[in-house]
Amino acid sequence: MLTRSWMRGLGESRSPRGATVLELLFDIVYVFALARLAGRVADDLTIVRHTLLSEAGQTLLIFTAMWMIWSLNALMASSYDPRRSDIQVILLATMFGTLVLAVSLPQAFGQRGLIFACTYVIVQVGRPLYLTLALRGQLGGLLAARVLAWHVASGVLWIGGGISGGMGRGVFWTIALSIEVIGAASHWPAPRLGAQRFTRMVVISEVHLAERYNQFFMIALAEVVLEAGAAVSFPGFSTARTVTLIAAFVAVVAYWRIYFYHVAPGQTATGLSAGGALRLAHSAGFSLLLIVGGIICTAVGFGQVIEDPDPPIDWALVVIIFGGPVLFLIGRSFLERPSPSRPSCRLLLVGVLVLIVAAPPMVLLPPVAVAAVAALILAAIAVVDGLAHRRGPQTNPPL
Query: CA-based diameter of the chain, in Å?
Result: 70
Q: What is the pLDDT of residue 275?
A: 43
Side chain identity at residue 366, one-letter code: P
Q: What is the pLDDT of residue 1?
A: 40
pLDDT along the chain (399 residues), means of 10: 58 76 91 91 75 80 94 90 91 96 92 95 96 84 90 96 89 95 85 58 79 90 90 85 94 94 51 47 80 94 91 90 96 72 75 96 95 96 84 55
Burial of 286 (0-12, 13-18, 19+ CB in 10 A): middle
Q: What is the pLDDT of residue 181?
A: 92
Q: What is the pLDDT of residue 131?
A: 92
Query: Residue by residue, what is the 3-state secondary structure of 229-240?
Result: HHHHHCCCCCHH
Cα→Cα distances 168→44, 57, 171, 369, Å: 20, 14, 5, 42
Q: Please state the pTM of the whole predicted model.
A: 0.88
Cα–Cα distance measured from residue 100 to residue 120, given in angstroms and rounded to the nearest whole number: 9
Q: What is the pLDDT of residue 285?
A: 81
Q: What is the pLDDT of residue 297?
A: 94
CB 293 within 8 A of CB 220: no
Query: Residue by residue, what is the 3-state secondary structure of the chain?
Result: CHHHHHHCCCCCCCCCCCCCHHHHHHHHHHHHHHHHHHHHHHHHCCCCHHHHHHHHHHHHHHHHHHHHHHHHHHHHHHHCCCCCHHHHHHHHHHHHHHHHHHHHHHHCCCCCHHHHHHHHHHHHHHHHHHHHHHCCCCHHHHHHHHHHHHHHHHHHHHHHHHHHCHHHHHHHHHHHHHHHHHHHHCCCCCCCCCCCCHHHCCCCCHHHHHHHHHHHHHHHHHHHHHHHHHHHHCCCCCHHHHHHHHHHHHHHHHHHHHHHHCCCCCCCCCCCCHHHHHHHHHHHHHHHHHHHHHHHHHHHHHHHHHHCCCCCCCHHHHHHHHHHHHHHHHHHHCCCCCECCECCCCHHHHHHHHHHHHCHHHHHCCHHHHHHHHHHHHHHHHHHHHHHHCCCCCCCCCC
